Chain A
Amino acid sequence: MDSILSIISVQTLWKISLFLHFVVAVALLAAITLQAALVLAPSPQVAGAPAGSLRPLLLAAPSATLIVILYLVQALLGAWVYVKYRTYVRIPMEGLRHWWTVGAFEFKEHVITMGLALLPAYWYFWRDPASQQHSTIRKWVTVFLAFSVWYGLAVGHVANDFRGVGS
């Protein structure tokens, strides 16, 4: 840590961390949203889906593994920048009586944690996407993860607007 701080300032380190958190969030959001939309949409009944369609790529086991990795990386980055939020953002937020933002952020901790809890099951259900055995629960676990990522990004964005990168 000291070697990093000898090159860049503490403020820059936090800004880079927060920006990385945002970049991974966008990547995760794109992947999980598309996957959730595809599992919710009725499967195409006619043969000859357009070549290069995203459907087989997103509804495959490697995509789910990638989403699990992105979710874990994102949670770790979130846990890292959470330190700065607790000391640098939340205290003035409380001082200015932004209670809804504080409450929504507290709830974000819980939503993301529940998403973490479901990751092993999510990964397991997506090992064999063609299997009908767990198709319903696979769908809803995917939707739950998509919801958790959307909620996390929305609330994180509000907190960032209060005191973060570019605010």
Chain B
Amino acid sequence: MTQTLDMHGRVAEVADYQAPKRASASQAAVGSESKLAIFAITFGIAFAILYTLFERWNWPLFTYHPAVNRLDLFKAPGVPEDGPPMFWYGWVVLSAISATVVSLIATAFSPQALQRITVFLCVLAGLWPIFYALAAVIDEQASFNAEFLRSVWTPGVPALAGALAAAYLVSPASAARVWTGWLMIMPIGGLVILGYSLKEYFLK
């Protein structure tokens, strides 16, 4: 009986001895879990924004010429004899690499800081094309010379101000609530911009 009690005591001691180890392992698992979540969610948001930008600016990592089976670095339309150039591969690869880098950097931030940065960047990405479109409308309608509004950088000023204000004013709870929501907003927003850029095909 004494031996049994003694054994129970030792088992309990061993269990207590291992408790901090288990807690530490559990914390590490939670930490890596949240890092995985940060990576996966940031990748989706960053990829959608970057792909839209690279497509609109036509910044491929490489250009493929299928008719002559040649690969050129960056944007290389080539001569007409080379046939049609293909940029899509270059946009996708560049977006994937850039989004991976952004997502890895994002894992270094605390969730709170990251969610606020995401609000800033996503609002900036949303406001910039809105102000750009608005500037184009003003330039068309204005009786004075508003050519400066056509610059891609002019609408960036109010967009930057709006994004800074949003990031400053948003509460941590709201930033956390909307964080995963950017995963839907950014790809759909990107598709709206990219779809609009194809309107000529549908209006011909």
A113 touches B92 (CB 8 A): yes
Tell me if B31 counts as interface (CB < 8 A to partner A).
no
Task: Say whether A106 contacts B41, CB under 8 Å.
Answer: no
Count class of interface residues, chain A: 20 to 34
A47 within 8 A of partner (CB): no
Q: Is A11 at the interface (CB under 8 A from chain B)?
A: no
Q: Which of chain A's residues have a CB closer than 8 A to the CB of B67?
A: 87
Q: Nearest A residue to B37 by beta-carbon distance?
A: A124
Interface residues of B (CB under 8 A from A): 36-37, 39-41, 43-44, 47-48, 51, 55, 64, 66-67, 83-84, 86, 88-89, 91-92, 95-96, 99, 180-181, 183-184, 187-188, 190-191, 194-195, 198, 200-202, 204
What CA separation (Å) do A97 and B202 show in the bound complex?
11
CB neighbours (8 Å) of A97 from chain B are 204
12 residue pairs of the A-B complex, CB under 8 angstroms, read A79-B89, A82-B88, A83-B64, A86-B84, A102-B201, A103-B200, A106-B198, A106-B201, A107-B195, A110-B190, A113-B88, A121-B183
A134 within 8 A of B: yes
Q: Which residues of B contact A144 (CB under 8 A)?
A: 184, 187-188
Question: Is A137's CB under 8 angstroms from B184's CB?
Answer: yes
In whole angstroms, what is the CA distance A101 to B145 when docked? 39
Q: Within A78-100, which residues are at the interface with B (CB < 8 Å)?
A: 79, 82-83, 86-87, 90-91, 97, 99-100
Which residue from chain B places its CB closest to the CB of A79 in the assembled complex?
A: B89
The secondary-structure label for the interface of chain B is: helix
Q: Once the chains bind, are A141 and B184 in contact (CB under 8 Å)?
A: yes
CA distance A65 to B43 in the complex (A): 17
Is A118 part of the binding interface, using a Cβ–Cβ cutoff of 8 Å? yes
| Chain A hits for B88, CB < 8 A | 82, 109, 113
The minimal Cβ–Cβ distance linking A162 to chain B, given in whole angstroms, is 15
* Chain A residues, CB < 8 A from B184: 137, 140-141, 144
Which of A114, A117, A134 has the most chain B CB atoms inside 10 A of its CB? Answer: A117
A107 close to B43 (CB less than 8 A): no
Interface pair B44/A120, CB less than 8 Å apart: yes
Tell whether, in the assembled complex, residue A117 and residue B99 are in contact, meaning their CB atoms are under 8 Å apart: yes
**B40 x A121 contact (CB < 8 A):** yes
Chain A neighbourhood of B84, CB < 8 A:
86-87, 90-91
Residues of B within 8 A of A99 (CB): 201-202, 204
Whether A111 is near chain B, meaning CB under 8 Å from some CB there, is yes
- Which one of B36, B44, B201 lies within 8 Å of A117 (CB-CB)? B44
B residues in contact with A87, CB < 8 Å: 66-67, 83-84
| Cross-chain contact A114 with B201 (CB below 8 angstroms) | no
Question: Which A residues are in CB contact (< 8 Å) with B91?
Answer: 113
* Distance of A90 Cα from B67 Cα, bound (Å): 13
Least CB distance, A109 to chain B, in whole angstroms:
5
Taking the nearest CB of chain B, how far is it from the CB of A115, in angstroms?
8
**Distance in angstroms between the alpha carbons of A111 and B44 in the assembled complex:** 13
- Known A97-B204, A114-B187, A124-B41; further 13 A-B contacts with Cβ < 8 A: A86-B86, A87-B84, A110-B51, A110-B55, A113-B88, A114-B48, A114-B51, A117-B95, A118-B44, A120-B43, A124-B37, A124-B40, A137-B181
Q: How far is the CA of A82 from the CA of B41 in the complex (A)?
A: 29
User: Separation in Å of the B45 CB from the closest CB of chain A?
Assistant: 8
- Which residues of chain A have C-beta atoms less than 8 A from B64's C-beta? 83
Q: Is the CB of A123 closer than 8 A to any CB of chain B? A: yes
